[in-house]
Structure 1
């Protein structure tokens, strides 16, 4: 995590105000509700949060970020932000669909009164949307599924017998998404022998795009792939997801 103390100044055009709060004295907790709809986040993602403090110093102990899909992320801060200055907190990647930011802090009583804290999101620079991703000719289609809206789970049954896997193993899975954006939260792979493997993903796949998931070795005899995801309602309808296996090169 990167923490930077920056002087308060006229806000840059790439900083978006997410909310503000008057905070109490001593050790306390407060919540900043973002209050933005899912549609507002469609083309926005943030790489940093900037906490600007006015009127009084504030010691920010920790943050808990709650996303629209219910996922939470805790960040230890333990830094003092002087009045008139700000602190940048690196989000370790692009984050979007924020519902609220929960803060644990300590504010020092003084004649200047309560501190005011404003939270800005630093917009991640995104390239222009590419054309539809085309799978490599050697990839093997393992299955496809139309997926529902909001937080949901689905299963792709890999409809191949054990004999089909005899001379095949895969080093990566490739997820190709069409028709709508999809936030893939996690995967659970179930093998023929009953063994299961859970992989945390937590990545947005744009419509027409793709995501590669490293299997950390050569894997075979896949029975099914269970997905936890969030698909956003829009006029474009449900998302379609196809899963391909990239063959391992066998010696």
Structure 2
């Protein structure tokens, strides 16, 4: 009797595995990349480290060079920060979009699938036509917005950091500290947990996913999840821009 039950269980697992293999395609892979928290957060950390090494490191190098040469003037400094932020934002947007397009293109070529099919059964839910693509774009835009804000904040706070390695790791460290601080405060009391939930990075990144995939999620949840961390980072960014402008004006 026990042996028969074990055989039935093995047969069931085998059937599920074969069904998974038959249904697995490029869209399944890309879906898993975007909507699996572990993989998506890993992608976020890799991007933060990469942008930190390239964008933040170069920005600090240019700022220090201009400072030592005495080239920072009052008029230039007011537009310099704005130009750097815009350039970084465009670079991040283009890079992330290109990487994801390459990823989905490669996945489709390797495992098949069609993102433009009339009906798509996704991790998020069931979609018809272009609605899946619109949800995917919205989901990725949340990632891009977060990256832009964190890289901007990092570029504004690192000029005083002497260690070049630490400078390049600031975006990753900043994101990791946000995770740890918010989770630590949330574990102190259930009320604090409810408050800090909206300041969590994963809450912001998966706000659209939660709203669509969970029937109990209201528009109120969506707005709070989308805006709480975003507004907090935006306010910090604007404050740091103002501080840096005053610093340049003092130097000039």
* More relative contact order, 1 or 2 (CA 8 Å, 6+ apart): 2
TM-score (normalised: structure 1): 0.25
**Higher strand content, 1 or 2:** 1
